[in-house]
Amino acid sequence: MIRSLYGIVISISGDAICLDVSGFGLEIFASGSLLASARAGDFLRCSAYMQVSDSGITLYGFSDETERALFLEITQVKTMGGKLSIAILRHLDAETILRSITSQDTARLAVPGVGTKRAERICFELKSKVEKKFGALLKSDIHGLGLGSIDGEVISGLVGLGFSQSEAARAVAQCRSESEDRGLSEEELMMSALGRLQRI
């Protein structure tokens, strides 16, 4: 079983990444967060799942183990195969999916290709499962991310502009790590993170 992959990004096309792993060009259908982090020519490490079916072998890639675990849960829902499951993770981040399931927000889950009926089935079949398996993540909030108060305010502001909490937190963390001056003001951090998010 393939659990993770590491190699050089050859190309990014639509919903897939072509990754050179030890000379093999592997096509990986990726989550939205993994697609956003991939750059042609850069090294990329990702969590992965290999699905074997009558139609052949398909590889799916994720930015972390939480996405992978959530993907596997969704594939267990009736009529939800790998392609439809990764479609949800391509349009929504893991936190949004989990909160949508627990709050029965079927409209949010009805991304292109999935539809309302499947979204209702996902909520019905997975609500108790995700509450049990991903309870710690669901209970976390901005202050549980280990970020300072300025970082939390910036994340709140970015969420208010329509970005997900995980996208905002990732952008803030990247801006902090890349800045030579770790004493960025709230306004400077906001502008830097916003610029990064708008380039994605």
pLDDT tens profile 125-136: 999 998 888 876
For residue 14, the domain's CATH number is: 2.40.50.140
Predicted local confidence at residue 143, as pLDDT: 45
Tokens 């659990």 belong to residue: 3
Nearest to 74 by CA among 91, 62, 86, 66: 86
% pLDDT > 70, the chain: 89
Nearest to 147 by CA among 169, 162, 123: 169
Mean pLDDT of 83-106: 91
Same structural domain for residues 75 and 109? yes
Same structural domain for residues 40 and 81? no
Same structural domain for residues 97 and 70? yes
Q: pTM for the whole thing?
A: 0.70
Kindly indicate the confidence band of residue 180, based on its pLDDT and cuts at 50, 70 and 90.
low
Same structural domain for residues 115 and 51? no
For residue 186, the domain's CATH number is: 1.10.8
Domain with 12, as residue range(s), is 4-62
Residue 142 has pLDDT above 50, yes or no: no
Whole-number average pLDDT of the chain:
86
